[in-house]
Amino acid sequence: MNRTLSEVGEKQISVCVTSSSALTHSYTIQPIISLSCEIVGPLLICLQEPGGKFGPIVEKNLFRPSNVVVTCTKSGKLTKDIVKKLWSDKILFPSIRMKSLILLDSWSGHNKQSIYSDPEGGDKTCDLLVIPPKTTSIAQPLDCYYFGQHKDIARKMYERVSLDNININLREINNIIKMKSLIINQLSAEIFKPMIRYSWFASGYLQSHPGQFKNVKEVCFQFACEACTVCANSAFICCSWCREFLCFQCFYIQYHTHDV
């Protein structure tokens, strides 16, 4: 969060946070969307750990959902080694067809064709196309629309926890993983395929507009005073899969997901 409310004309604004690290970069996510309008493979999350690795207790108790792969570095940012050995070899290649084309930005950690070779020594090939520097805001499908929708769900979770004084820290490791897993699961629903297609259209890779589609706000959060289908408490979200209204407890705490 980089904004806070204050009185008009106030020159100094004080903010209370649970941790100073909550104000800085703490993790990186690496999703993949396809031109066939699907989320490809599990989501890679790179968390920030002071020593660059998880301690034994954290490692033992780490939440590991099937649609998320978790790693860490000192900075919370990806490294060339993680891109090759984890993202390319363990996530990308097992999820693609025999011949694929991957579109990436110009970051030096992942913009080399040598990274994208079949780890099994098989016939799968993945050709690399690099987006020119300083053009991701107009030429990267994830940046042009998808990431905004992903962040909308996360923002709603943070707001609900804050407004309802729910005793949970969404910046803790396992809570971050659970939150991202739920978001990816929601965005994998059939109803969001036209939205993902629009991401490709908005970045210039498709000539035809996908037509009318619904975004995250319209699918998941455009309702008033609905009761949770499970417990009758006030609803937090309308599930993009089953279309049931769920409170924060039944959605987040109970980990409401659907098989993709």
Dump pLDDT digits (tens) for 18-75: 555 555 448 999 999 999 999 999 999 999 999 999 999 999 999 999 999 999 999 9
**What is the Cα–Cα distance from 110 to 104, expressed in whole angstroms?**
8
In whole angstroms, how far apart are CA 236 and each of 40, 108, 221?
A: 27, 41, 8
Q: Map 43-110 to HEC letters.
A: EEEEEECCCCCCCHHHHHCCCCCCCEEEEEECCCCCCHHHHHHHHHHHHHHHHCCCEEEEEECCCCCC
Q: How confident is the model at residue 256 (pLDDT cuts 50, 70, 90)?
A: very high
Asked whether the predicted pLDDT for residue 1 surpasses 60, the reply is no
Rounding to the nearest 10 degrees, give the CA dihedral for residues 128, 131, 137, 143: 0
| pLDDT tens readout for residues 194-210 | 999 999 999 999 999 99
User: Residue 25's pLDDT is what?
Assistant: 47
Percent of the chain with pLDDT over 90: 88
Q: Which of 34, 66, 9, 57 is nearest to 181 (CA)?
A: 66
The 3-state DSSP class for residue 187 equals helix
Contacts of 257 (CB under 8 A, 6+ apart): 65, 181, 182, 185
* Residue ranges with strand state E in 99-147: 99-104, 125-130
Mean residue pLDDT of the chain comes to: 93
- CA distance linking residue 206 with residue 256, whole number of Å: 34
